[in-house]
Amino acid sequence: MASFFDVAGRRAAAAAAQSSATPSTKAKDPNRPVPWVEKYRPKSLSEVSAQDHTISVLKRTLQSSNLPHMLFYGPPGTGKTSTVLALAKELYGPELMKSRVLELNASDERGISIVREKVKNFARITVSNASATQSSSYPCPPYKIIILDEADSMTQDAQSALRRTMETYSKITRFCLICNYVTRIIDPLASRCSKFRFKPLDEENSRLRLEEIARTENVEYEDGVIDALIKVSEGDLRKAITYLQSAARLHNPIIQPKPGKVDNEGDEEMEDEEDDGDEDDPKLVLDSKKITVRSIQEIAGVIPDQTIDDLLAACEPKKGKSAYSDISMLVRNIVADGWSAGQVVLQLYNKLVFNDIITAEQKNDIVLIFSEVDKRLVDGSDEHLQILDLALRISEVLAKG
Amino acid sequence: MTTTNRKIEFNIVASVYHIEITPSDVGTHDRVIIQSLLKEIGQTQQVDITAKQKFKVVVINEADHLTRDAQAALRRTMEKYSPNLRLILIANSTANIIAPIKSRTLLVRVAAPTIDEMVGVLKYVAELERFEFSNKLARRVAEESGRNLRRALLMFEALYAQNEVVKDNTPIPPPDYETLIGQIADELLADHSPARILLVRAKFYDLLTHCIPATTILKLLTFRLVAKIDDVLKADVIKWAAFYEHRIHLGSKVIFHLEAFVAKFLRILESYLMGMEF
């Protein structure tokens, strides 16, 4: 690459680039890889999966074209943002949406000053008239929508500044708050909105959606991959789709539409990196084009069952021998292999709680230990010590019974 | 860069290919860095039209130390500016990274090198440096380092720098602080009196003033002690080590917790030796 200050060199390089006719500043490339999460975002309300109750209520309000203030809450990846965007699109159509909808999220500064200025100013503007063509194909109700995404990361002060604004301009502006934890929204705000709970997606709906995406993208996969995806994503459809895309990239070499295409190379590099990281896992050698269950688990950071089973086996009481040496050796390896402590805790927990050999009393004690260790990990304690402590104490409880 | 009205000084490492930032340097103000700096980078296109890639690469070090606010700010930025900006987050563990970020990234787990791989690297280095290489010694160095390649290389270098002739059984010089912690452990095991705690305190202060993190001290000390005590006590000592290590993160003055651990350890040990229930 030419040095920045070497003007002549740069000019020559630029000229060379021009002559080889690769216009790098093309505005929109139809083949540009889009994250599948964006690509398969529901485009209308009826496409939103699994939130039947919410959707039917919203559709009814759509017909009467009178909308209350809304508060959407629920775990990540359940379609909150998608729903409100789809709703806005059905109300206004793509053109009018630009002037009628204001979207603010946590990446924008949302202190009290922004609420006072930006939000208030937008709320105050009188509604522009819809053109004849627009109003013929869309309802175009006479109000604007302000979407406050990730509202639970707004400060208390900023939230209280909203209170009066919401009421004063309610004739021409509707608010839609989106959050994960409804408890972080102050009561006065919550009581001004009609609440919609988004529940985690059930298996059936996630499966339908994932299979549909896999079919459209021509992804080949082994049996059980979809099940694995549903299991690791825990009802978070966005997570499941991202994992599916990563896995597809890992297994299917990218077919280059034309030589020297820029974006694809970056993807290939990522692929190589993933490859390097897994040298110790011979199963992941990319000989098959089908996505395997193991590669899904690797992408999701799930620890192989064998490792967890080994650790549990080491925790079992043994006659005349302390469990310490085995456990400490295994824990050291787990930490060195880079597994996350949170994941270890989660998987151990799932194994232990559903183990029928352990008595209910022992489980009581064990669950207490888990809660304590989890809290400590969240506080940023050392992972090695905490996992070791966890394993040793479990082994103590198991030995007691 | 300004927040509401404060100025923050912030270091950026940049090359023609990438920009490297460590937002956790500025403590709780890291959100400002994410919001202003990354947006600024993301909003402009790559200037160099001869570049192969259209996007710019930003490496974020110590991503697990980012505050929740900063991570929340990353969420939308990552998606919105993806044509101009690719992020590489580097973290020791994914435990402290919020789920929305994890679900937006491709996780690449980099495991520590295995002993055999490390021996291979040491052999390569020895060849380049024209050292006499012995497989046995390299294996010992690798095991001693706890699968940490940087440490193994440093130890390897120190080994050859300090000794004229290196044999298979040449003792590997540990870092100074480890020697000191080893001393502390020996002293504690030799005498279980309160006077000993006072003596050890000076050494703790010595370590802390040399910027050895309290977590490292406690961890090393625990493993030194555990290696030398009866099997029955091990689980208990680890339990209290984990307890006080947690306290270190919550509390404001680390020396309290280090001493509390030492006192607790002596109490456990003494009551065990005297046959009391503890």
How is domain B176-273 classified at the architecture level of CATH? Answer: Up-down Bundle (1.20)
SS3 at position A72 = strand
- A87: tokens are 């709703």
Mean pLDDT value of segment B5-10: 72
* Yes or no, beta carbons of B103 and A76 under 8 Å apart: yes
SS3 at position B18 = strand
Residues 6+ apart with CB under 8 A from A373: A345, A386, A387, A389, A390, B242
CATH of domain A34-197: 3.40.50.300
A376 min Cα distance to partner chain B (Å):
6
Residues 6+ apart with CB under 8 A from A315: A323, A327, A391, A394, A395, A398
* Yes or no, beta carbons of B109 and A277 under 8 Å apart: yes
Backbone angles phi, psi at A98, to 5 degrees: -60, -40
Q: Please list every residue in chain A whose beta carbon sits closer than 8 Å to the beta carbon of residue B54.
A: 24, 262-263
For chain B, domain boundaries? 12-103, 115-162, 176-273
Q: Please list every residue in chain B whose beta carbon sits closer than 8 Å to the beta carbon of residue A377.
A: 95
A54 min Cα distance to partner chain B (Å):
23
For chain A, domain boundaries? 34-197, 203-251, 303-399
Q: Please list every residue in chain A whose beta carbon sits closer than 8 Å to the beta carbon of residue B112.
A: 336-338
If you measure CA to CA, which chain A residue comes closest to B234?
A: A324
Q: How far apart are CA A105 and CA A79, in angstroms?
A: 16
* Yes or no, beta carbons of B109 and A395 under 8 Å apart: no
* Yes or no, beta carbons of A332 and B146 under 8 Å apart: yes
What does the pLDDT read at residue A371?
Answer: 92
Of A1, A105, A300, the CB nearest to B50: A1
What does the pLDDT read at residue A253?
Answer: 58
Of B69, B99, B249, the CB nearest to A379: B249
Q: Which of A250-254, A318-322, B131-135 has the highest mean pLDDT?
A: B131-135
- A195: tokens are 């609440």
* Yes or no, beta carbons of A107 and B74 under 8 Å apart: yes
- A362: tokens are 């022992």
Q: For residue range A191-211, what is the model confidence (pLDDT) as tens digits?
A: 888 888 888 888 888 888 888
CATH of domain A203-251: 1.10.8.60
- Look at the block and give the residue holding tokens 């793509």: A94
Residues 6+ apart with CB under 8 A from B19: B12, B13, B41, B56, B57, B58, B59
Q: Please list every residue in chain B whose beta carbon sits closer than 8 Å to the beta carbon of residue A381.
A: 242, 245-246, 249
* Yes or no, beta carbons of A300 and B107 under 8 Å apart: yes
How is domain A303-399 classified at the architecture level of CATH? Answer: Up-down Bundle (1.20)
Mean pLDDT value of segment A238-242: 83
Q: Please list every residue in chain A whose beta carbon sits closer than 8 Å to the beta carbon of residue B234.
A: 322, 324, 392
Q: Please list every residue in chain B whose beta carbon sits closer than 8 Å to the beta carbon of residue A149.
A: 76
Q: For residue range A60-88, what is the model confidence (pLDDT) as tens digits?
A: 877 776 788 889 998 888 888 888 888 88
Mean pLDDT value of segment B165-193: 83
Strands (DSSP E) contained in B41-84 are 56-60
Q: How far apart are CA A58 and CA B46, in angstroms?
A: 43
Q: For residue range A369-394, what is the model confidence (pLDDT) as tens digits?
A: 999 998 888 887 888 888 899 988 88
Q: Please list every residue in chain A whose beta carbon sits closer than 8 Å to the beta carbon of residue B82.
A: 35
* Yes or no, beta carbons of A324 and B234 under 8 Å apart: yes
Of how many residues is chain A composed?
401
If you measure CA to CA, which chain A residue comes closest to B75?
A: A107
String of DSSP letters for B137-163: HHHHHHHHTTS-HHHHHHHHHHHHHH-
Q: How far apart are CA A382 and CA A97, in angstroms?
A: 49
Q: Please list every residue in chain A whose beta carbon sits closer than 8 Å to the beta carbon of residue B49.
A: 14, 17, 24-25
- What strands, in cross-sheet order, belong to the sheet with A144-148? A101-104, A144-148, A173-179, A70-73, A194-197
The identity of residue B210, as a single letter, is H
Mean pLDDT value of segment B248-277: 86
* Yes or no, beta carbons of A301 and B94 under 8 Å apart: yes
Q: Please list every residue in chain A whose beta carbon sits closer than 8 Å to the beta carbon of residue B77.
A: 107
Q: Which CATH number fits domain B12-103: 3.90.1170.40, 3.40.50.300, 3.30.70.920, 3.40.1350.10?
A: 3.40.50.300
- From the number of C-beta atoms within 10 Å of its C-beta (0-12, 13-18, 19+), residue B208 rates as middle
Comparing CA positions, the residue from A289, A169, A301 lying closest to residue A233 is: A301
- A331: tokens are 């824990």
Of A236, A381, A393, the CB nearest to B103: A236
Q: For residue range A6-29, what is the model confidence (pLDDT) as tens digits?
A: 555 555 555 444 444 444 433 444
Please state, rounded to an integer, the average pLDDT across all residues of chain B.
82
If you measure CA to CA, which chain B residue comes closest to A396?
A: B235
Q: What is the pTM of this model?
A: 0.70
Q: How far apart are CA A60 and CA B165, in angstroms?
A: 87
Q: For residue range A343-371, what is the model confidence (pLDDT) as tens digits?
A: 888 888 888 888 888 888 888 888 999 99
If you measure CA to CA, which chain A residue comes closest to B219?
A: A385
- B166: tokens are 């290196």
A386 min Cα distance to partner chain B (Å):
6
Sign of the alpha-carbon torsion through A71, A74, A76, A78 = negative
Q: How far apart are CA B169 and CA B136, in angstroms?
A: 9
Q: For residue range A256-304, what is the model confidence (pLDDT) as tens digits?
A: 444 443 444 444 444 343 333 333 344 444 445 677 888 888 777 788 8
* Yes or no, beta carbons of B50 and A341 under 8 Å apart: no
Backbone angles phi, psi at A176, to 5 degrees: -130, 110
Strands (DSSP E) contained in A165-256 are 173-179, 194-197
Q: A391 with A311: CB under 8 angstroms? A: yes
Mean pLDDT value of segment A303-317: 84
**Of A35-39, A266-270, B7-11, B38-42, the least confident:** A266-270
Q: How many CB atoms are located within 10 Å of the residue B72 CB?
A: 21
- What strands, in cross-sheet order, belong to the sheet with B85-89? B12-14, B18-21, B56-60, B85-89
Q: Report whether pLDDT(A168) > 70.
A: yes
